[in-house]
Structure 1
C-alpha cells in the first residue's frame, strides 16, 4: 500500500527553484520579447492594410487570416521542422510574436477606424505630411483606445507559452513534468506551476481592467 502523503513539502521546496528558473528564463522571456514583436509588427500591419493599395492590403489580410486561423502549436512545429538548425527558443519567440501580431493588428485597425474623420481632415488642412499625420495624430489616439485589448492578448500569450513543449523548449510546465517524471511525484510541481501562472496573470488582468475603466472615464 502506498503511504505517500498527498502533499510533500520537501518536494515542493525542492522543485520551486527549478520552476522559477524556467519561468523567468523562458516563460517570462518569451512573453516579454514576443509581446514587443507583436505590438510593433501588429501596428505595422494595421497601418499597411489601411494605407496600401487594395491588392497589397488584401494580401496582408489573407496572410493574417491564415495565421490567426491556424493553431499556434501547428505553426511552432512547422517552423521547428523547417528551420532545423535554429534555436528552438528563438523559433518560439518569433512564432509567438508573428501569431499575436495578427490579432493585435485587428485591435489597432479598430482603434484607427474609431478616430473621428475630422482628425484626418484637420491634419490635411494643416498640410501635415502623411507620415506626420499617422505619427502625431492618428496613432496616439488609436493607441489610447487599444491598450486594454492589447494587454489581454499579452495575457493570452503568456498562458499559451506551454505550447513551447512541442518544440522541446523547457518552459515552466515542461520543467514540472520533468521533475515529476524523475521523482515519481507530480502534484507539487503541477500545483506550484498553476500558482505561478495565477499569481503572475491575475494582478495583470486586474490592472488592465482598471486601465480600461480609467480610459473609458477620461474619453
Structure 2
C-alpha cells in the first residue's frame, strides 16, 4: 500500500538527491557548451588533423552509450591512475557526451549567418577574433537558444544514469531508500513525479524563449 506518511519521511532525502541532480545537470551543460563550441570551431579549422579529430570525437561520443562512457571513466581509468570523484565523473561524462550533440547546434547557427556578413567583416579587415566575437557569434547564438534549452532538459533526464557510478542523485536516493526499507512504491513514484515536475517547468521556460525569439525574428524581418 502507498503510504503518504512514509513518503513525507523520505522526502528530505529525495530533495537532497534533487540538489545533486541539478548540480550535475548545470555542471554538465556548462561543460557541454564549451566542448560543443570548441568542436564546432575545430571542424571549421583550416588544419585537416584538427578537423579529423573533431569529426572522430563526435562520431565516438554519438555512437557509444552514455552509460558505457560512465563505466569506462569511473571503473576502467582508475586502473591507469586516472581517478575522479563520482560526481565529477558524472559531470565530465555528461558534458563530453552532450557536447558532441551541441556541436551540431553551433554548426547550424554559424552556417545560418548570411555570407554577406562574413564578406563585409573581412572587407573591413577584422581579425579572426573580432570577426567571431563581434559579427558571427552575436548573430548565430540567438537562434541556438531554443535547441540548447531542449538539450538542457534532455541532459536533466539523463542524470539518473549517474546512480550506476554511486552518485546519490534523486534516483540514487530513491534506490538507497528502497534498498534499506524494501519499499519501492513511494521512493520511485516520488522521484518520477519530481523529475517530471522539474522537466515540465524547464520545458515551459524553453517554450517562452522560443516564442520570444520567434517574435524577435519576425520583428526584424518585418
Q: Which residue number in structure 1 is paired with residue 16 of structure 2?
A: 21
| Aligned equivalents of 1:81, 1:173: Cα separation in 2 | 20
| Aligned equivalents of 2:105, 2:46: Cα separation in 1 | 18
Q: Which residue number in structure 2 is paired with residue 99 of structure 1?
A: 97
Q: Please state how far the C-alpha of 1:204 moved relative to its aligned partner.
A: 1.0
Unaligned runs of 5+ in 2: 218-222
1:54-203 map, 5 Å: 54-84=48-78, 85-203=83-201
List per-residue Cα deviations over 1:160-197 (Å, max 9, x = no partner). Answer: 00111221212111211211221121111111111111
Q: Which residue number in structure 2 is paired with residue 3 of structure 1?
A: none
Name which of 38, 42, 54 aligns with 2:36.
42
| Aligned equivalents of 1:86, 1:79: Cα separation in 2 | 8
| Aligned equivalents of 2:135, 2:91: Cα separation in 1 | 31
Are 1:9 and 2:4 an aligned pair?
A: yes
| Aligned equivalents of 2:93, 2:178: Cα separation in 1 | 28
Output the aligned Cα RMSD.
1.2
Q: Please state how far the C-alpha of 1:55 moved relative to its aligned partner.
A: 3.4
| Aligned equivalents of 1:188, 1:52: Cα separation in 2 | 56
67-76 or 174-183: which moved more? Answer: 174-183
Q: Which residue number in structure 2 is paired with residue 31 of structure 1?
A: 25
Aligned length: 213
Q: Which residue number in structure 1 is paired with residue 220 of structure 2?
A: none
| Aligned equivalents of 2:207, 2:124: Cα separation in 1 | 37
TM-score by length of 2: 0.92
Name which of 29, 34, 45 aligns with 1:51.
45
32-41 or 51-60: which moved more? Answer: 51-60
TM-score by length of 1: 0.93
Q: Please state how far the C-alpha of 1:105 moved relative to its aligned partner.
A: 0.7
Q: Please state how far the C-alpha of 1:135 moved relative to its aligned partner.
A: 0.8
